[in-house]
Structure 1
């Protein structure tokens, strides 16, 4: 449960680097490293049409949940009654007795004339 809470509250960032349409690098929480084929220098004869890079970076950001406080004013009266009844019944369910009562301690078991399980070869496993 703690891991689920941590995973839902942390913001996740996945960086991907594509080179010529292929996925080259994936990184969690930061930008992915480039493949080294990016055009650093622009040639003199280059025009706007020929300056397309073969590399592409993609950054996916998944925002985490920030508000974790549940207020009781969102619950209706019926829901509050159910929750309070459930908590009261759950707490009292495990309350121990002062004395351990065994209702059949004064009765002896019936006499065993023959062992039916052995005769029929039926065993509880």
Structure 2
């Protein structure tokens, strides 16, 4: 049971370190207020809704400002994971030392059951005291 719990806790701690160091970027493409495309690995494809309006003065086509917007969410992971003992201040060092010292043998079980009264026999019963004093448990 102890090895199973230690394997689970080691796996969860490794997963925590992995998730805290991973950085990623999410690209979202909106047309108006509607989400059209989302991409994690690359840029989101646009919907190609460019509106062409004819210019009244000539034959050239002018392009209006697009109603589409792109949103980029960048989640940055941790860069430095290695903390040294000297980076901690004195109070934190004292707490860490006392914590490790007090809990180092907490989860180790006894190798055998110790029964301190195994070699001693009970005293001989001369009289039954409850019957002598007529005290009965109901």
> What TM-score do you get using the length of structure 1 for normalisation?
0.64
Match of 2:106 in 1: 93
Q: Which has the larger radius of gyration?
A: 2
* Matched pairs, number: 104
Shift of 1:102: 1.3
Matches within 5 A, 1:1-125: 1-38=13-50, 44-46=60-62, 50-94=63-107, 100-105=113-118, 106=120
Q: 5+ unaligned residues in a row in structure 2: which ranges?
A: 1-12, 55-59, 123-138
TM-fit CA distance, 1:22:
1.1
Q: Secondary structure at the match of 1:92?
A: coil
- Alignment TM-score, normalising by the size of structure 2: 0.59
Structure 1 unaligned spans of 5+: 109-125
**Take 2:16 and 2:109, find their aligned partners in 1: how far apart are those partners?**
34
Deviations 1:48-103 (A, max 9, x none): xx521122211111211101111222322332222122212222334565754113
